[in-house]
Amino acid sequence: MRRTSIRDHAWLYPILSLVLAVGILLAFGLTWWHALAVTALLGCPLVVLWGLIFSWSQPEPGSELAPETDGVTIEWIAPFYDRLCTLLGLGRAFRRQILEVAALKAGERVLDAGCGTGVWTRLAAEAVGSSGQVIGFDPGPTMIAIARRNAAREGSRATFELAAVEELPFEDASFDAALLSLVLHHLPAEVKRSGLKEIGRVLRPGGRLIVVDLDQSNSVLSRIVLWPLSHIGSSADTFDGKIPIYLREAGLKPVTVEGQWRKSLTFWRAMKPLSSIASVETPFK
């Protein structure tokens, strides 16, 4: 277990800010040398100060210890995560489509695995109403701190916990539905396997898992834009279309494709069989 804070990354924000300042000056027509000189002489102190104030103004994670995971957490992006999603076209409409596929009903108990800043978790909490319950979890302390702050601001009933999908602090068969949105490509193969088994354990028989993630893309544009990701260890197999194989291997079936988002993300639904003796497939090579 470890305890990290956004302030551990404080050094990163002044550097990002300086790069941004040089970029803006270049866009205004200055030469490289002039842009670097102006940033260094005039902009540096202000930009460094802004970067430090920015990182110190982020919510401080509580005293809970963060779980160790081999999954890729993106703590340093947490303060910008929601804006980045909107910029990438993953705003409210995207979250609403997930909600449609999940078809949540009033009174259901729902898990948002790897919830990040909890945007969908809060929408799901509205959908299940006061008789239901939605819990989001993530191993990133800053993500969880931001999720809790935003839920408190909106008066949302969603709650958040620090946890990793490979070791869930929840009872067997205690959820009607679970979501893994944009998480599987952050997990190495072994963590994908153990995480999906854990989700299968906490889903009730007949419960459903909704997965949204990268897939074998049909669109040339998204193949070009996402090309670097297809070469990173944890995401390469998602580009090879292996998510349904992992789901079935964890005993979650049938697996159905429920839609796509802009020809680059696929929505799957995988069921936990009603029979308690779910057949678990042999791992693929």
Ligand X SMILES: C[S@@+](CC[C@H](N)C(=O)[O-])C[C@H]1O[C@@H](n2cnc3c(N)ncnc32)[C@H](O)[C@@H]1O
Binding region for ligand X (CB under 6 A): 69, 71-74, 85, 113-116, 120, 138-140, 143, 164-166, 181-183, 186-187, 191
- Three-state DSSP at 199 gives helix
174: closest CA among 138, 130, 144, 135? 135
Q: What separation, in Å, do the N-terminal and C-terminal C-alpha atoms of the chain show?
A: 32
CB of 47 to ligand X, least distance (A): 27
The DSSP element (H or E) to which 150 belongs, if any, is: helix 141-154
Name which of 51 and 67 has its Cβ closer to ligand X.
67
CB of 69 to ligand X, least distance (A): 4
CB of 176 to ligand X, least distance (A): 19
Residue 274 one-letter amino acid: L
Whole-number Å distance between alpha carbons of 120 and 201: 22
Name which of 14 and 71 has its Cβ closer to ligand X.
71
Residue 58 one-letter amino acid: Q
CB of 110 to ligand X, least distance (A): 13
Name which of 36 and 77 has its Cβ closer to ligand X.
77
Tokens of 126: 């509205």
CB of 195 to ligand X, least distance (A): 6
Whole-number Å distance between alpha carbons of 156 and 211: 23
CB of 136 to ligand X, least distance (A): 8
**Runs of H (alpha helix) within 28-105:** 32-38, 44-56, 81-87, 92-102
**Pairing state between β 203-214 and 265-271:** antiparallel
Name which of 35 and 184 has its Cβ closer to ligand X.
184
Name which of 53 and 65 has its Cβ closer to ligand X.
65
The residue number whose beta carbon is nearest to ligand X equals 71
Name which of 122 and 186 has its Cβ closer to ligand X.
186
